[in-house]
Amino acid sequence: MLTKVATYNFSRSGPMIEVRLHGRGGQGAVTSAELIAISAINQNKYAQAFPSFGPERRGAPVMAFVRVSEEKIRLREKVYNPDIVVVLDPSLPTIVNVTAGLKEDGWVILNSSKDEKTLREMLGGYKGKLAVVDATKIAMEVLGLPITNTTMLGAFLKATGLVDQKYLEEALEHRFGRLAEKNKAAMARAIEETKLYT
């Protein structure tokens, strides 16, 4: 079931949109980045996805990056000034500066059960655009596991509309096979439950 979501306007920020995902090892941040890029490529955009390299271990903070563009992408470095930041783990804003380098008109998309005021304080007084969903709760109820990556894709879709839901669902089917339906259900529920603060 397709749900009405935002549609990203590329001309606002130029021809390329940069995304930085923060998670912990084993939560699927790198998979999320790949799924966004595949979806963009399948709708005739240019895209790249890659992790930050280092001695990451399960549970340690990790980053992954995505670029989506209407034109060929020549950059190959980390994303330092993202348009969009996605945070898969609710504890990360207390130990990582997730808003570092975020563009002025950017989005922070958080997995959290906390209220807007508390989250803005946790983010050092962040005043910009914020999307919040309790992805851990949804993942536990729908998937039976606290792996939030596909749930957070729903929040990402609702806030940005950077890729079409249809293409993201196709990417989930290709990646997860018979487990795709549950992942699509988690994503759809997150689209419904994500709160946007602009």
Q: For 28-78, what is the HEC assignment?
A: CHHHHHHHHHHHHHHCCCEEEEEECCCCCCECCEEEEEEEEECCCCCCCCC
Q: Report how far residue 36's alpha carbon sits from residue 157's, in angstroms, rounded to the nearest whole number.
A: 10
Q: Report how far residue 148's alpha carbon sits from residue 187's, in angstroms, rounded to the nearest whole number.
A: 9
3-state secondary structure of 109: strand
Which pLDDT score is estimated for 75? 84
Phi/psi for 190 (5° steps) reads -65, -35
The answer to whether residues 149 and 181 touch, using CB atoms and an 8 Å cutoff, is no
In sequence order, the 6+-apart residues with CB closer than 8 A to the CB of 104 are 128
Which pLDDT score is estimated for 127? 94
Give the pLDDT mean for 136-145: 95
Domains, the chain: 10-197 (3.40.920.10)
pTM over 0.85: yes
